[in-house]
């Protein structure tokens, strides 16, 4: 038996979340002494397979390089994974994907087609069949044991360290799986362009809430601070709903889950739906003019101040 | 065209959930229950599609204990036409719910299912995708915009890096994200009217679905508490602490 990790990528480069997922797979592999294989499905994506082959601990990379897989639709990728698992040469005990948009979109489909449960966003491996995952916006942790033959799992990247991305020498094998090509048509994809680091990968995050007042303030007050710190920008749902920033800035229960070294919350009240996405950050700073804001209950360093004076002062002093 | 909207009864989003002292579950005694917020958005979208003349009937479905009827009545008060409860005391996991919903879809033959992107209790984000797979339909999760034209849906989805737009033929499953719409409040006359709308009760056996859980929960626990730190007096002290105590600058 082997463990199959689904690579997250954009046909050009391997996404870092794949490394955390390989780490989770290694935890399981250490209990079962099974091999880790990485499945790379996409179009003109051999470079991704080569990067996956260099990850320490990976034994084999399965490459499905087919034009219709390039748009990353759930339909085509679920069909690929199911074909690989049911018709391929290797028997897989576990299928793991990072809990990215693509993973969350695709793996439940895979699980239903295999008639097994899917386990969402695990943060720890207790045993080959036993995993810990959050419930209720992370206010509760549950330990679940699966009775299914194939465990289909998404992995919360903040729960596992990244595997080492260099030094591995896995073989790359073209898969013989012939997935169904029926899928929706991708009309457009608008990705936010930014020179700042990605939220999921950033060591420092400067995050803003409704207290910023509008989109212009958001950029003019937080932008310079983020630039000085080499930080990513994040936001609350309230800030996104009000149109200050695009949707992919949202941190929280229903947005991104992050755990940087330093999280600076500015003009954020600290609703638990927001805390769900950032409370595992190493150091949390909160700047809020309301001394009773709940964010202060989890902040390592709280500054009660008007953000419009405190943040520029902070930026200037760095 | 018929639209099916699955709605889940969950602990209200304002309640901070607590684990029982013996770790056997979460405390649900005297806790306010509500419709899953994403499902309210899904109901609102379906009702708007009907109001725009693009659908004839909106059917809401809830799977679970008898009190899910209350949730269904709230959905009817928002403008859904009729309701189905698949009643069972068994703990339902997403695969079981998806199978029940698939059985309902085979019976009702909707052109569209709009569900919530995730239930705020299990935070699973699975049921819609599983239903689509079981029906062999296309899917669009995390929708922030839906346009229907005859039998083609165009859906904008919220994804990690931004947005994407997909186009696919119906029938299909779409899951609602937060910014799809802002749900209306039920008016008193509509709450009264909802009491008279049809509500059918079915049990899982009659649908031929085995709902036995595949995952056994061994333990419920609370995550390690993060204590409050200190309040700093000013920006200078903040920088000093970040540099010399936390060593993150
Ligand atoms: C189903 C569901 C899912 C949700 N998911 C998420 C999620 O993923 N992420 C998320 O963030 N939220 C989420 N929410 C919303 C969440 O409940 C809160 O509404 C939201 O986080 C509040 O955002 P905020 O802190 O920016 O705004 P507010 O609560 O309005 O807080 C603004 C803060 O700014 C401070 N402030 C104002 N002016 C200044 C100033 N000049 N200087 C300093 N401070 C100032 C105020 O004191 C206040 O504390 C969700 C809600 C629901 C129902
Ligand atoms: N018991 C249920 N009854 C009706 N609909 C449900 C139920 N469970 C989940 N759903 C639907 O599936 C969506 C996603 O739920 P989940 O996969 O549990 O996160 C919800 O927003 C509902 O629309």
Write the pLDDT tens digit of every residue in B85-130.
999 999 999 999 999 999 999 999 999 999 999 999 999 999 999 9
pLDDT of residue A181: 76
pLDDT of residue A175: 92
User: B5 is written with which tokens?
Assistant: 């909207």
| Full set of structural domains in chain B with CATH | 2-244 (3.40.50.620)
pLDDT of residue B193: 97
Please indicate whether residue A231, judged by its CB atom, sits closer than 6 Å to ligand 1: no
Tell me which residue of B92, B94, B101, B69 sits closest to B82, measured CA to CA. Answer: B69
pLDDT of B157 strictly over 80: yes
User: A74 is written with which tokens?
Assistant: 């759930």
pLDDT of residue A177: 81
Q: Which one of B137, B140, B228 makes the best mutation probe of the A interface by having the most chain A beta carbons within 10 Å?
A: B228
Residues in chain B: 249
Contact B147, B153 (CB under 8 A): yes
A136·B226 Cβ contact <8 A = no
Report the DSSP pairing between strands B138-149 and B152-159: antiparallel
With contacts defined as CB-CB under 8 Å, which chain A residues touch B159? 101-102, 189, 248
User: B50 is written with which tokens?
Assistant: 């009907």
**Distance from A66 to chain B by nearest Cα, in Å?**
20
The model's pTM: 0.97
Which residue in the set A187, A191, A254 is minimally distant from B154, CB to CB? A187
Please indicate whether residue A241, judged by its CB atom, sits closer than 6 Å to ligand 1: no
User: B26 is written with which tokens?
Assistant: 């979460």
pLDDT of B243 strictly over 80: yes
Write the pLDDT tens digit of every residue in B173-215.
999 999 999 999 999 999 999 999 999 999 999 999 999 999 9
With contacts defined as CB-CB under 8 Å, which chain B residues touch A144? 215-218
CA-nearest residue for atom 41, ligand 1, is A306
Report the DSSP pairing between strands B112-116 and B2-6: parallel
If 0-12 CB within 10 Å is exposed, 13-18 middle and 19+ buried, where does residue B87 land?
A: middle
Segment-wise mean pLDDT, segments of 10 residues, chain A, 318 residues: 97 97 98 96 98 98 96 97 92 97 98 98 98 95 97 97 96 87 92 90 97 98 98 98 96 95 98 96 98 97 98 97
* ipTM of this complex prediction, to 2 decimal places: 0.96
* Percent over 70 (pLDDT), chain B: 100
Write the pLDDT tens digit of every residue in B39-95.
999 999 999 999 999 999 999 999 999 999 999 999 999 999 999 999 999 999 999
The pLDDT-based confidence of B28 (bands split at 50, 70, 90) is: confident
Q: What is the 3-state secondary structure (H, E, C) of chain A?
A: CEEEEECCECCCCECCHHHHHHHHHHHHHHHHCCEEEEEEEECCCHHHHHHHHCCCCCCEEEEEECHHHCCCCHHHHHHHHHHHHHHCCCCEEEEEEECCHHHHHHHHHHHHHHCCCEEEEECEEEECCEEEEEEHHHCEEEEEEECCCCEEEEECHHHCCCCCCCCCCCEEEECCCCCCCCCCEEEEEEECCCCCCCCCCCCEEEEECHHHCCHHHHHHHHHHHHHHHCCEEEECHHHHHCCCCCHHHEECCCCECCCCCEEEEECCCCCHHHHCCCCCCCEEEEEECCCCCHHHHCCCEEEECCHHHHHHHHHHHC
Mean pLDDT of chain B: 96
């Amino acid at each position: 038996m082997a463990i199959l990790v689904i690579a997250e990528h954009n046909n050009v480069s391997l996404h870092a979340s794949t490394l955390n997922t390989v780490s989770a797979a290694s935890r399981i592999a250490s209990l079962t002494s099974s091999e880790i294989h990485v499945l790379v499905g996409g179009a003109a994506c051999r470079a991704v397979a080569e990067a996956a082959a260099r990850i320490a601990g990976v034994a084999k990379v399965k490459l499905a390089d087919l034009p219709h897989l390039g748009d990353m639709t759930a339909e085509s990728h679920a069909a690929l994974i199911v074909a690989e698992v049911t018709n391929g040469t290797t028997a897989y005990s576990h299928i793991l994907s990072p809990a990215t948009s693509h993973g969350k979109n695709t793996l439940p489909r895979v699980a239903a087609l295999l008639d097994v449960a899917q386990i969402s966003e695990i943060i720890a491996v207790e045993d080959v069949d036993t995993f810990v995952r959050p419930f209720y916006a992370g206010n509760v942790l549950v330990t679940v044991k699966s009775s299914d033959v194939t465990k289909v799992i998404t992995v919360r990247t903040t729960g596992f360290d990244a595997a080492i991305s260099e030094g591995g020498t896995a073989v790359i094998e073209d898969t013989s799986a012939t997935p169904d090509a029926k899928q929706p048509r991708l009309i457009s994809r608008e990705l936010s362009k930014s020179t700042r680091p990605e939220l999921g990968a950033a060591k420092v995050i400067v995050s803003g809430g409704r207290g910023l007042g509008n989109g212009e303030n958001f950029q003019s007050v937080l932008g310079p601070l983020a630039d000085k710190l080499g930080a990513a920008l994040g936001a609350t749902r309230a800030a996104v709903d009000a149109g200050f920033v695009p949707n992919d800035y949202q941190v929280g229960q229903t947005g991104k889950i992050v755990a940087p070294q330093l999280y600076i919350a500015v003009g954020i009240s600290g609703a638990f739906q927001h805390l769900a996405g950032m409370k595992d950050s190493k150091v949390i700073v909160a700047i809020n003019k309301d001394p009773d804001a709940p964010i202060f209950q989890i902040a390592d360093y709280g500054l009660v101040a008007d953000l419009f004076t405190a943040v520029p002062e902070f930026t200037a002093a760095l | 065209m018929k639209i099916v909207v699955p709605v889940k009864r969950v602990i209200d989003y304002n309640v901070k959930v607590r684990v029982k002292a013996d770790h056997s579950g979460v405390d649900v005694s005297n806790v306010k229950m509500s419709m899953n917020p994403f499902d309210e958005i899904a109901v609102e979208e379906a009702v708007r599609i009907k109001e725009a003349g693009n659908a004839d009937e909106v059917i809401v479905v809830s799977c679970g204990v008898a009190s899910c009827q209350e949730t269904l009545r709230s959905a009817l008060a928002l403008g859904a036409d009729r309701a189905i409860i698949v009643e069972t005391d068994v703990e339902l996991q997403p695969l079981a719910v998806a199978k029940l919903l698939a059985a309902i879809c085979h019976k009702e033959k909707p052109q569209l299912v709009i569900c919530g992107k995730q239930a705020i209790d299990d935070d699973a984000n699975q049921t819609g995708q599983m239903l689509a797979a079981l029906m062999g339909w296309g899917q669009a999760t995390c929708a922030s915009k839906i346009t229907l034209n005859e039998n083609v849906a165009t859906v904008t989805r919220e994804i990690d890096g931004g947005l994407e737009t997909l186009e696919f033929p119906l029938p299909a499953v779409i899951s609602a994200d937060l910014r799809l719409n802002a749900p209306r409040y039920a008016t008193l006359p509509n709450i009264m009217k909802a009491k008279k709308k049809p509500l059918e009760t079915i049990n899982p056996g009659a649908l031929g679905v085995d709902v036995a859980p595949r995952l056994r929960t061994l333990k419920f626990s609370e995550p390690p508490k993060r204590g409050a730190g200190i309040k700093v007096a000013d920006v200078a002290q903040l920088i000093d602490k970040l540099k010399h105590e936390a060593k993150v600058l």
